[in-house]
Chains A and B, each alone.
Chain A
Amino acid sequence: MAAPDQYQPHASRDDAAEARYHRRAFLVMMVLFIGAPFVVYPVFVMKALCFALFACAFNLLLGFGGLLSFGHAMFLGMAGYAAAHAAKVWGLPPELAILAGSAASTVLGVVVGLLAIRRQGIYFAMITLALAQMVFFFCLQAPFTGGEDGIQSVPRGRFLGFLDLSNTMVLYYVVLAIFTAGFLLIYRIIHSPFGQVLKAIRENEPRAISLGYRTERYKLAAFVLSAGLAGLAGATKALVFQLASLTDVHWSMSGEVVLMTLLGGMGTIFGPVVGAFAIITMENYLAELGSWFTITQGAIFVVCVLAFRRGIIGELEAWLRKRRGG
């Protein structure tokens, strides 16, 4: 599924303009993030950064591959458990724990991807949701996840042996570096020939097949990349909060990442980041109201689908394009 108004082919002049706009927006974003911990509570920004990376990974699959996964929480949560287990039980340093987490979700992504890409559209969403629910029950019952308690007081350790992560500021800039690396990797993937083929499959799969592309391989690759990057976010999140729990594997988390992407603008580069920050901020204020947060989430879904399908960034880009075009 693609955001509307993404379809028209761009001439190369537009491509250059778009690259320029992306560069500028990226610089603004980096300045904001580098300065953020001096203004806002750093743990809050770190949480939002982890979710922003999660949403970007999800958007790679939905916005550019056209595949709606309703079970992405399984990659976030599974990577969290794997990283927490690696750091706490095996005593691995944080960089290896994060790698172990991402590796776990990548492997899970291969297995789930092979099953799910056998069906399209609505079925794809239902299958990923059902498999994620299976992973949820597995995490509930398996001994190493700690059941309802989760894995608590995960040691943060020293990143690369010399960065002491118990210092919040050091931790913040490590998390920011991980987010930036993930974000740039996703940007690179989208603008590579591989990303172009993905877009072609999204627009018209039979035509891509007739052009000789083995579309199921591209879809599987996109799925695995998205799962691995979602895992990177989940593993980082587990180290930041020193906790891996069932919340991150639950279906409501899968719904939340869909909402972040939808609100920010699916199929846009910066939309998921904006969406993640918006939802996490909202959660911060509405959390104590309990069920009102759920109701608000549902209402945003309904409003976005009915009246605001391009999302915040999508609307902004459309407005800018109209102004530039005169």
Chain B
Amino acid sequence: MIKLGENTFWLSGRTGITARAAVAGPIEGKGPLGEMFDKVYKDEKCGQTSWEMAEGQMLSDCLDTILVKGGKTPQEVDLLLSGDLLNQCMSTAIATRDRNIPTLGLYGACSTMAESMCIASLIMEGAATRNIICMTSSHYCSAEKQFRFPLELGGQKPKSSQSTVTGAGGNMLTWDGGNVCITAVTPGCVRDPGVTDSNNMGGAMAPAAATTIATHLKDTSRPPEYYDMILTGDLGELGKEMCGQLTMELGYDISKQLQDAGTMVYAPEESINTAGTSGCGCSAVVLNTVILDKLEKGELNKVLFVGTGALHSPALLNEKQPIPVIAHAVSIERR
């Protein structure tokens, strides 16, 4: 592993993805990824008594699926990196309790999937670890409750607003395993573009995504064409367009490669009044279903996965502070 340019860590490429899982709620289940989920819940409560417990249950089921698909016992897992949107990483605590797996809790808002894969691959290069699990979750109902208003409150949202994905996704990284590997990571810097509108997260996160993408391309001396796809986490329609423009202003034309996970989860009729989806689960379920599936089959060869996060806190917003944002890039390639 070497440090390259401004912020990029160039890896040996021996860290592979050997198992992946994604579970989702009923609306996501009816979307274009429906068939690819390991489990689709019949209702949002997931058999639990509260939204928080429901999210914990999803993450717990996701962990079980990764272990089964990877053929590993908890004892064989060296480390578990997990995070979510809820206060004190509630879902992670619920899903990992009594698991007997060393766990590090993360908070990177909706960038958590990319953040966990960044940290896991760096640890793999430097330490004697064999298997690390990365995972994250979000739930529409628990996120609305914590960050916005009660579900049944009758109000309106502007078209730029995004819906939190109800779902959990994760994968297992194994040293010298799998045919898809991580070749470089570019952790992002926290940006403050000055946006205060919590219904325009895409617009707020676009500068973070653009600078991380441009930094990665510059550090690695790779042209945008090197990648078959540059997948941002949850910018939505509006943020995706702004990200494309901003990256162009930084000197890179990524219009052919740029895709956004926030536009891939809902069926078209569900997304009429929103700019797309968001949440930790958004990029996690897209990456761990369709994207990694295509990489494994060879339909895609090189993907730059850019998890985007709005480090939004209701308290900070009430104090008239702008929304801090972040984006981390993970270069995923077929061996």
Q: Do A and B come from one complex?
A: no
